[in-house]
Amino acid sequence: MIPIRDANPSSTRPVVTIAIVIVNFGIFLYELSLGPHLDQFLIRYGLVPSIVTGAYHVAGMTGADIAARFGTSMFLHGGWLHVIGNMWYLWIFGDNVEDRLGHVPYLFFYLACGVGSGVIDVWSNPTSTMPTIGASGAIAGVLGAYLITFPRARIMTLVPIFILPLFINLPAVFVLGAWFVVQLFNGTAAIGHAAQTTGGVAWWAHIGGFTIGMVLMKLLPRRRRPRPPEWRYGPVVDGP
């Protein structure tokens, strides 16, 4: 299933979400300019679990250098499909979460989910020498927050049936719940296997980010938003 859009307009302009999308695409374009030096760049700024845990020692690497990787890694991507897929999910679901949290709290929420998902990734595969990169963990937190806040919101979803595309309006609890089940299934199947043998997908970073997002959304204060007029947007299903 591929979400296309949600019928859940926000009452404020999602300036932080827009900025995050721009920064991620800007950094990815810079990655493309590196040519043969790209691998070295990703190892330097990606999150390498074995370096964090000390299983692989790098001369001159300080604690601050290691800590910084938890932040820098979430703004790196490994290809066009990787960055477009991540930013597409953020664009669909991020505006509503930002609307409910407020711009500055939302930024800290996003970063906290990204860092927290990185911690879970290191815990799940502490000896991996493959750098974990991408905004998936932070965006998984946004998805978890959206599920908590707008479980009944309608999501226009592409469901491929053989070769025919089928567009269905589904509740967020179904779309995002199914996404989480897929992550959990693959993460469980990957236990005991190195990242190199599981396609390099940080399943447990996704699981951790999603869970952290749900918990934080329950704990953080949320703004009440004015309901957009139905004559303009149609009925809107709000969350708690």
Q: What does the pLDDT average to over 36-58? A: 89
Give the C-alpha separation, 24 to 121, whole Å. 21
Residue type, 190: A
Give the pLDDT score at 73. 95
CB 122 within 8 A of CB 217: no
> Do the bridges between strand 154-161 and strand 164-171 make them parallel or antiparallel, or are there none, so unpaired?
antiparallel
80 φ, ψ (degrees, to nearest 5): -60, -45
Q: What does the pLDDT average to over 126-144? A: 93
CB 117 within 8 A of CB 47: no
Residue carrying the six token digits 């939302």: 106
Give the pLDDT score at 198. 40
For the chain, give every domain's residue range.
2-168+176-222
Give the pLDDT score at 125. 86
Fold classification of 2-168+176-222 (topology level): Rhomboid-like fold (1.20.1540)
Residue type, 70: F
Is it the case that residue 231 has pLDDT exceeding 90? no
Query: What is the chain's mean pLDDT, rounded?
Result: 87
Give the C-alpha separation, 224 to 240, whole Å. 10
Model pLDDT for residues 77-107, shown as the tens digit of each residue: 999 999 999 999 999 999 999 999 999 999 9
